[in-house]
Amino acid sequence: MLTVFLDRDGVINRKPPDGDYVKSWQEFEFLPGVLDALHALKQHGFRLLVVTNQRGVCLGRFSENDLRLIHDRMAEALRNADAALDAIYYCPHDNNSCDCRKPGTGLFLQAQRDFPDIHFPDSFVVGDSTVDMEAAARLGCKKVLVGDDIAGVIAVLKPEKLQVDFSAGSLLEAVREYLIKPNNEVRPAKASGAS
């Protein structure tokens, strides 16, 4: 089974301004096309795992219980759309204080312990930031960059000689144009093509 690791803020839901956080379900807003994108991935047999940094917990902006409530409601909405997540992994820690905060790989390795058939070279990381792409590179996963600041992220990655495998304005675009081929077949992770 192919696995897609999904960042949350900026990929699944609207990202708050820098320095702010989604602190409650009332502040959570799915991005356009996300339900359709995740439904399509699920229909094509992908395992869907959310891997998200949530530093706002350690900063006291919201509690782990608040975060669990947000994730419970998000998971429920996705189940109702036939786009159920297989698991959600989050890091509540501050910068440079753990190995689970992306670009660290701790959350991904926890996922592999939970799902031993995960093979990172056959997996995809979909994110909107440099830390997502750096984590993907460390694991050997395919790097799928989405969002509004593709050029900015690519510019930061360039000195590190990191290239993304595909970039798109949205998760739905990435699913339709890269993860699932036009003839409705799943794209093998080993078939790369930079965009």
Stated pTM of the model: 0.93
Backbone angles phi, psi at 90, to 5 degrees: -140, 150
Which H or E element spans position 41? Answer: helix 34-43
Residue 119 has pLDDT above 50, yes or no: yes
What letters, b where the CB count within 10 A reaches 16 and e where it falls short, cover 112-133? Answer: beeeeebebebbbbbbbbbbbb
In tens, the pLDDT along 9-44 reads 999 999 999 889 999 999 999 999 999 999 999 999
Identify whether 36 is a catalytic site residue. Answer: no
Q: What is the mean pLDDT of residues 172-177?
A: 96
Point out the catalytic residue in the list 7, 128, 132, 165: 7
Q: Which two tokens stand for residue 113?
A: 């312990």
Identify whether 7 is a catalytic site residue. Answer: yes
Domain coordinates in residue numbering, the chain:
3-179
pLDDT of amino acid 58: 94
CA dihedral sign of residues 112, 182, 11, 68? negative
pLDDT of amino acid 96: 87
Give me the CATH topology for the region 3-179: Rossmann fold (3.40.50)
Q: In which residue are the tokens 């970039």 written?
A: 167
pLDDT of amino acid 86: 98
Q: Name the band, by pLDDT with cuts 50, 70 and 90, for residue 192.
A: very low
157 or 189: whose pLDDT is higher? Answer: 157
Q: Name the band, by pLDDT with cuts 50, 70 and 90, for residue 193.
A: very low
Residue 162 has pLDDT above 60, yes or no: yes
Q: Long-range pairs for 77-81 at CB < 8 Å and ≥24 separation?
A: 77/30, 77/35, 78/35, 78/38, 81/35, 81/38, 81/39
Please say whether the beta carbons of 118 and 124 come within 8 A.
no
Gap between the terminal Cα atoms of the chain = 25
Point out the catalytic residue in the list 9, 66, 132, 165: 9
Residue 186 has pLDDT above 90, yes or no: no
